Amino acid sequence: MSGVGLTASASAMADALAAGEVTSVELTQAHLDRIAAVDGDVHAYLHVNAAALEAAAAADARRAAGDGVHPLTGVPIAIKDVLCTIDMPSTAGSKILEGWVPPYDATTVARVRAAGMVPLGKTNMDEFAMGSSTEYSAWGPTHNPWDLERIPGGSGGGSAAAVAAFEAPIALGSDTGGSIRQPGAVTGTVGVKPTYGGVSRYGAIALASSLDQVGPVTRTVLDAGLLHDVIGGHDPRDSTSIPDAWPSFAEAARAGTREGSVKGLRIGVVEEMSREEQGFQPGVLQRFRESLELLERQGAELVEVNAPHFRYAIAAYYLILPAEASSNLAKFDSVRFGMRVTPPGGGTVEEVMAATREAGFGPEVKRRVILGTYALSAGYYDAYYGSAQKVRTLIQRDFGSAFERCDVLATPSAPTTAFKIGEKVDDPLAMYLNDLTTIPANLAGVPGISLPSGLAPEDGLPVGIQFMAPARQDARLYTVGAALEQALVDAWGGPLLNRAPVLA
């Protein structure tokens, strides 16, 4: 392939396509070759699109005709398996949906196709997005391209690993408690959870409807902005979709690379998420502080803020999420789609459902559905689910008072770097702590971005920094993110992923 390499950003690939230096067919074939070469080790994909080259040829024809060309026309993209695709199986990482091909596309998928992007395939994930390591996928774990014995984060470990391993330039993810941002942190990539309602959830297989949000998984902040511009905006098919007009997030990212873009920006450092004794690895905190110093040198102002209720966020989340999930997953009942298991000798429809769900759901899904059933049951509802909803109010108030004193909030994206596969899989409470820093944004509906802030000195693995903004102010994240990314890449002498080990 001439013109542009596999390690280029999606926007550089788009430029090369526009300049006629490469075709989408060449670019797509190069990615399919890369998948064939390394995905045996990484296992980022559950399904590779057999029609990818046809879509690429159509994109080339569209560019040749100059007809309805979008900036990302012809750029290949990976799609998290939680999103419905009319031409590819959509299992959400679960055996209960093995081989299921939905009768419609998710809105985000439809918008990506309408822009002329080329779906490469479906990426691995924790079953129904329940997990922080992709180990709870029914189809086996994804491996972190930085160290194949380690987890790529979760639930969207497949999308993050595909982008980090150059098996896709850009991907779609979903984030209910950190499933875009935490995998971004541990794989050295960029991920954005938009404002709740900023991107349509139509056709995203629901985990927790008041928390789920679809967003971009990329290697650069600008690429995330470009994809957000494609997938975002009002969708009448999602009743929680915000009808407002949105600014261009690609423009917000470009603005961040200009001189003085963060001058006077007030960055709130959350005191409750900034010290070792709060569960943070030393190298994570070191890179976090260095990133903040870089921004300070460019004129940003650091403000210490308190968010006293953030420490209750995980507890509230693990009541609200299981409650909503137990309801959402009731539809997997062996009647309209998915697996059916009939007990020996037959059985009533309820016995068939119970046998199906016993065989079709993995351990984490069973844990959370049963926990949610408990939290919602009469006599316990007020103490658990009702209290969790009150904590949600308190966390929103913490954000509200913090944003009176600053424009964006900063925390590490995850408390540690990538851990070893198998290390926490049998200890649910230890696993839940991985989303310590990301869950508050989901509970409050505010947007968050994670971008690489370096490698932890103690283990040489990627570390991420998270910024959060008030609801609807996603553009601020792209501006501060792009400003920091530019300063860091200058300091490193190239993108962080250049330092990842060579695969295959």
List of residues 6+ apart from 112 with CB closer than 8 A: 77, 79, 119, 172, 227, 230, 231
Name the packing angle between helices 221-231 and 249-256 (round to 10°). 160
Q: Residue 139: name the closest of 63, 31, 26, 44 by CA.
A: 44
Catalytic residue among 9, 11, 24, 80: 80
Site string for another protein, 183-212 (x = CB under 8 A): ------------xxx------------xx-
Interface of this chain with another protein, residues 162 to 181, rule: CB under 8 A = none
DSSP string over 416-448: SSPPBTTSSTT-HHHHHGGGTTTHHHHHHT--E
Q: Which of 61, 370, 491, 504 binds another protein (CB under 8 A)?
A: 370
Q: How many CA atoms lie within 13 A of 145 on its CB side?
A: 30
Annotation marks residue 155 as catalytic:
yes
How far apart (Å, rounded) are the C-alpha atoms in residues 442 and 430?
20
Q: How many residues does the chain have?
A: 504
Interface of this chain with another protein, residues 372 to 401, rule: CB under 8 A = 373-374, 377, 383-384, 386-394, 396
Which amino acid appears at position 415 of this protein? P
Using CB under 8 A as the binding rule, whether residue 288 contacts another protein is answered as no
Give the nearer residue to another protein in terms of CB position, either 1 or 101: 101
List of residues 6+ apart from 405 with CB closer than 8 A: 266, 268, 303, 305
CB of 215 to another protein, least distance (A): 15
How far apart (Å, rounded) are the C-alpha atoms in residues 315 and 423?
22
Give the nearer residue to another protein in terms of CB position, either 332 or 467: 332
Interface of this chain with another protein, residues 234 to 263, rule: CB under 8 A = 236, 239-240, 242
Interface of this chain with another protein, residues 310 to 369, rule: CB under 8 A = 312, 314-316, 318-319, 326, 330, 333-340, 342, 346-355, 357-359, 361, 363, 366-367, 369
Q: Would you call 354 helix, strand, or coil by DSSP?
A: helix
CB of 210 to another protein, least distance (A): 5
List of residues 6+ apart from 41 with CB closer than 8 A: 143, 148, 503, 504
Interface of this chain with another protein, residues 83 to 122, rule: CB under 8 A = 100-104
CB of 356 to another protein, least distance (A): 9
Annotation marks residue 179 as catalytic:
yes
Annotation marks residue 326 as catalytic:
no
Give the nearer residue to another protein in terms of CB position, either 7 or 210: 210
Dihedral sign for Cα atoms in the order 34, 168, 137, 145:
positive
Which amino acid appears at position 57 of this protein? A
- Interface with another protein: number of residues (CB under 8 A): 75
Catalytic residue among 132, 179, 200, 453: 179
Q: Would you call 350 helix, strand, or coil by DSSP?
A: helix
CB of 241 to another protein, least distance (A): 8
CB of 243 to another protein, least distance (A): 9
Interface of this chain with another protein, residues 469 to 488, rule: CB under 8 A = 471
Interface of this chain with another protein, residues 418 to 457, rule: CB under 8 A = 428-429, 442-446
Catalytic residue among 94, 155, 241, 453: 155
Active site residues: 80, 155, 179
